[in-house]
Structure 1
Amino acid sequence: MISDSALLLNRAILFVTVLLSGWSAECWAAHWNVGAPSNQLLDTTAVGTIGEMSGVTYLGPSPTAGLHRFAAVQNTGGVLLTIDVALSPTGTLLSATAVSAQTLSMSLDFEGTAYTNPTRNSVFLAEEGTPGIREYSLANGAQLQSVAIPSVFANRRANRGFESLARSPDGTTMWTANEQALTVDGDVSSAAAGTTVRLMRMEVAGNSVTAAEQYAYHVDKIHGTSTFGSPQSGLSDLVSLPDGTLLALERSVAFTSPLYLNRIYEIDLTAATDVSATPFDAGLIGQIFNPVSKEQLWSGAADNTNGQNLEGLTLGPRLANGDWVLLGVVDNGDPVSLNTIVAFPLSANPSADFDIDGDIDGQDFLAWQRGFGKSIGAAHSDGDADRDGDVDIDDLTFWQSAYPAPLSATTLAVPEPAAISLLLFIVGSMIAVRRLGN
């Protein structure tokens, strides 16, 4: 016969298990992992003096076998650089060489960069001044179009407009954001508090680009109390991953160690409020809204020492081991930063729980079956277990390996120390009450 103490213990464990299960359903777990960076100084011998690289985008394999080609824009002089990089099988950056330089038809404060496709052969560039999103030909540098921007972004602060640009691998969506809060949305960042910016999604149909939803994003505060130069903590770039996940690169500068601190976050839009319409189009101050959620994937100095001004980040090639590369560029427009190229290994957290209900079952197989054959732009909910943007046999294999998974492995995480302490407290309290009753 079970003793009273054992019965109380079982009830306490059941109570905490249910409680933990509820927490697990509400907590959001990141889908991606970012590893420690490697870096190389850009070899500029072929193009001469360059400076202030601010945005970067992946063009694809280089004509030189074994290399990968990127384009980086300078925020002065209206110049677009072509760069070839060599990567190890695990994504370590081995070399970076500037191949050519294309002068654009306009010289603006260009920041974010997003490649279209080989047929269009162009890049979209975000510029801080207007702010604006403009498309330029890679063949001759001519401007092809300028995207209509919602009027609320005219409330930008000087040199704090559109700093970022990302384009989804399937070419149907682009994203940008202002670096720090619009004057109608709140204060700039400080050592005491961060700043609220607007993520703006753009719908891409053929060559037509239209502004769509906007979401509030809270940038972290400056990482030190003593600042120099232009103290700030802002959103410096966005990256769109194969499964539609959006990453954010934040940059903080302060007179501390490191001088420049960068943070990479995974963004969750699920519960966020669309702030593109009334009353938010007049400003966020005094309004009630849900910002996007974010989960930190990496934080540190891009050069692994005292920090440099990492401004641009893009999704690079997929590696033979199934991982990816995030490639970044440093703006050398200050005394401590150089023309540095940075590479981060990026890996996915695979999951066959496509309907996100806490288990892996036949409903998840049906989700895979409905999505099977989608070759680009597939979301996890379509049956993309490995988050590579397609639904194929690899995803079915992963579902088979996980089915049927024990409940404890799919819905309950290993209890954190705080949860264990809670369990012991509840058990102790229940036993104490029992003894008092006797």
Structure 2
Amino acid sequence: MVMKIKYCLLLFAVVFSGHSAFCQAANWNLAPPSTVLLDTSAVGAVSQMSGVTYLGLSPLPATTLLHRFAAVQNEGGVLLTFDVVFDPDGTLFLAKAVSSQILSPSFDFEGIAYTSSTRNSVYLAEENTPGVREFSLATGSQLQNVAIPPVFGNSRANRGFESLARSPDGTTMWTANEQALTVDGPLATSSAGTTVRLLRMDVAGDSVSPAEQYAYEVDPIHGTSTIGSPQSGLSDLVLLPDGTLLALERSVAFTSPLYLNRIYEVDPAGATDLSDETFDSGLFGENYVPVSKQILWSGAIDGSSGQNLEGLTLGPRLANGDWVLLGVVDDGDPVSQNTIVAFTLSANPSADFDSDGDIDGSDFLSWQRGVGISIGATHAEGDADRDGDVDADDLAFWQSAYSAPLSGLPLAVPEPLSNTLLLGLLVPMIASGRWRS
């Protein structure tokens, strides 16, 4: 079998040649996490939180301080809501459970994604069918069962859909099997990873349809011990405001740490679409290109033995422009607790919208075409600060970076645009209503 592996690794500079890393820097940065133990006194026992999603500001008093999240438990079909207070820098201050609700019917739920206050529902990924189902937050009843490509019926027991992510504009969702389908390859070992399939889904209102599939190479198990049940798999996915996809991997082995988590930035560009019927019977013997990935963070949640971090979601934006990435721990083992985890996520802004290695007039034209998009904007559409919109902030960044070369890449810089020309380009947009900040 010939398989092309395309990892985009963040490498140190090559000393002997004087050249720097061979691939583009990641779009986002992660700071080490803070943790607090979830206060469950208001709801009683909480067990095995597996997925988490952000609902917005809490309806309780002091809503400017309280942010509400929902977590799904992988046993008993329970949906838990809890409120969180963050310090200004995104550090966790407290987390308190608010309510719990029984879902009907009940499955082994692992991933969760909130829709909107208007629709008032969540999509849940369950791993044993595997499937993606929508449930009402008001009643806890199932609203629909999403059609899934038949190839995912080859998932291994308890290794199906573990993840679910939804874009801020509600037009896209992603899920993936935790470890390789039986027709795609073996489970992970300490010397080799496992190949899973990312599934993208198109969303239009309440209609969800499967789209592309991509191979994703999970890292090997981080320890060599064969005691217990060592494994490595894909635990969750997150979609950021600019459309960037993050992947949470979890490795467990009877070593130190017991649990090791890794968070990667994923890029499907150039990867093979496996939804073609050629790959319906599996990946054995087939040629394909997996997605590329770049490491953003790797470590043990508590800094020692680690805990079973299973769920991850994009939380609120902070006053300084950074974002919170919030996670939940599954307490179903002797070392893990009902721990809430928060990373601070910061963007690497760039005005090279056409990704050609320079910042010039063509990048301004990309911004001009995208200006006014208020949610779900991509970097290519002119979103320099990667917050999902195209506005004056992005133009200001383009102006500050104009004619500044990107290191190590050829340049083709035109004559600078004068302020008069810039004003001449902007006035028609303002007059036509295309400008929205």
TM-score (norm 1): 0.88
Partner residue in 1 for 2:256: 257
User: Could you tell me how far apart the structure 2 residues matched to 1:177 and 1:133 are?
Assistant: 11
User: Could you tell me how far apart the structure 1 residues matched to 2:225 and 2:273 are?
Assistant: 36
Note closer, same or farther for the CA distance 1:407–1:208 as it changes in structure 2 (3 Å cut): closer
- Contact 2:359 / 2:405 at 8 angstroms: preserved in 1? no
CA shift digits 1:136-178 (9 cap, x unpaired): 0001100000001111001000000000000000000000000
3-state secondary structure, aligned to 1:252: strand
Partner residue in 2 for 1:231: 230
- Contact 1:227 / 1:253 at 8 angstroms: preserved in 2? no
3-state secondary structure, aligned to 2:265: strand
Partner residue in 2 for 1:268: 267
CA shift digits 1:403-425 (9 cap, x unpaired): 1214648769xxxxxxxxxxxxx
- Contact 1:150 / 1:211 at 8 angstroms: preserved in 2? yes
Partner residue in 2 for 1:372: 371
CA shift digits 1:169-224 (9 cap, x unpaired): 00000000000000000000111110000000000011100011000000000000
CA shift digits 1:70-91 (9 cap, x unpaired): 0000000010000100101111
Partner residue in 2 for 1:105: 104
CA shift digits 1:256-311 (9 cap, x unpaired): 11100000000011110000112111101110000000000000011222100000
Listed as ranges, the matches of 1:73-112 within 5 Å are: 73-112=72-111
Query: Does structure 1 residue 220 correspond to structure 2 residue 190?
Result: no
Cα RMSD, aligned residues only: 1.6
- Contact 1:181 / 1:187 at 8 angstroms: preserved in 2? yes
The amino acid of 1:342's aligned partner reads V
CA shift digits 1:217-264 (9 cap, x unpaired): 000000000144321100000000000000000000011111000000
Partner residue in 2 for 1:193: 192
Query: Does structure 1 residue 29 correspond to structure 2 residue 28?
Result: no
Q: Which moved more, 1:59-68 or 1:224-233?
A: 224-233
Kindly tell me the number of residue pairs found equivalent between the two proteins. 393
Partner residue in 2 for 1:428: none
CA shift digits 1:7-45 (9 cap, x unpaired): xxxxxxxxx9xx988x87x62321000110000010000
CA shift digits 1:100-121 (9 cap, x unpaired): 0011012210000000000000
User: Could you tell me how far apart the structure 2 residues matched to 1:51 and 1:168 are?
Assistant: 28
User: Could you tell me how far apart the structure 2 residues matched to 1:83 and 1:205 are?
Assistant: 29
User: Could you tell me how far apart the structure 2 residues matched to 1:386 and 1:409 are?
Assistant: 22
Listed as ranges, the matches of 1:305-324 within 5 Å are: 305-324=304-323
User: Could you tell me how far apart the structure 2 residues matched to 1:327 and 1:407 are?
Assistant: 32
The amino acid of 1:286's aligned partner reads G
- Contact 1:37 / 1:304 at 8 angstroms: preserved in 2? no
Partner residue in 2 for 1:182: 181
The amino acid of 1:184's aligned partner reads V
Note closer, same or farther for the CA distance 1:356–1:103 as it changes in structure 2 (3 Å cut): same
- Contact 1:137 / 1:143 at 8 angstroms: preserved in 2? yes
User: Could you tell me how far apart the structure 1 residues matched to 2:226 and 2:34 are?
Assistant: 27
Partner residue in 2 for 1:47: 43
User: Could you tell me how far apart the structure 2 residues matched to 1:131 and 1:118 are?
Assistant: 27
Query: Does structure 1 residue 396 correspond to structure 2 residue 392?
Result: no
Deviation at 1:58, TM superposition (A): 0.2
Unpaired runs of at least 5, structure 2: 1-13, 412-437
CA shift digits 1:339-361 (9 cap, x unpaired): 00000000000000000010000
3-state secondary structure, aligned to 2:84: strand
3-state secondary structure, aligned to 2:396: helix
The amino acid of 1:307's aligned partner reads G
User: Could you tell me how far apart the structure 2 residues matched to 1:108 and 1:38 are?
Assistant: 31
- Contact 1:37 / 1:303 at 8 angstroms: preserved in 2? no
User: Could you tell me how far apart the structure 2 residues matched to 1:163 and 1:191 are?
Assistant: 21
User: Could you tell me how far apart the structure 2 residues matched to 1:210 and 1:39 are?
Assistant: 37
Query: Does structure 1 residue 204 correspond to structure 2 residue 203?
Result: yes
Note closer, same or farther for the CA distance 1:259–1:408 as it changes in structure 2 (3 Å cut): closer
User: Could you tell me how far apart the structure 2 residues matched to 1:405 and 1:191 are?
Assistant: 44
Note closer, same or farther for the CA distance 1:411–1:309 as it changes in structure 2 (3 Å cut): farther
Listed as ranges, the matches of 1:256-405 within 5 Å are: 256-405=255-404
Bigger-Rg structure (1/2): 1
The amino acid of 1:102's aligned partner reads Q
The amino acid of 1:138's aligned partner reads L
User: Could you tell me how far apart the structure 2 residues matched to 1:228 and 1:136 are?
Assistant: 39
**Once the two structures are aligned, what percentage of the paired residues are identical?**
75
- Contact 1:135 / 1:145 at 8 angstroms: preserved in 2? yes
User: Could you tell me how far apart the structure 2 residues matched to 1:288 and 1:315 are?
Assistant: 34
3-state secondary structure, aligned to 2:280: helix
Partner residue in 2 for 1:11: none
Report runs of 4+ in structure 1 exceeding 3 Å deviation: 406-412
User: Could you tell me how far apart the structure 1 residues matched to 2:389 and 2:196 are?
Assistant: 32
- Between structures 1 and 2, the one with greater helix share: 1
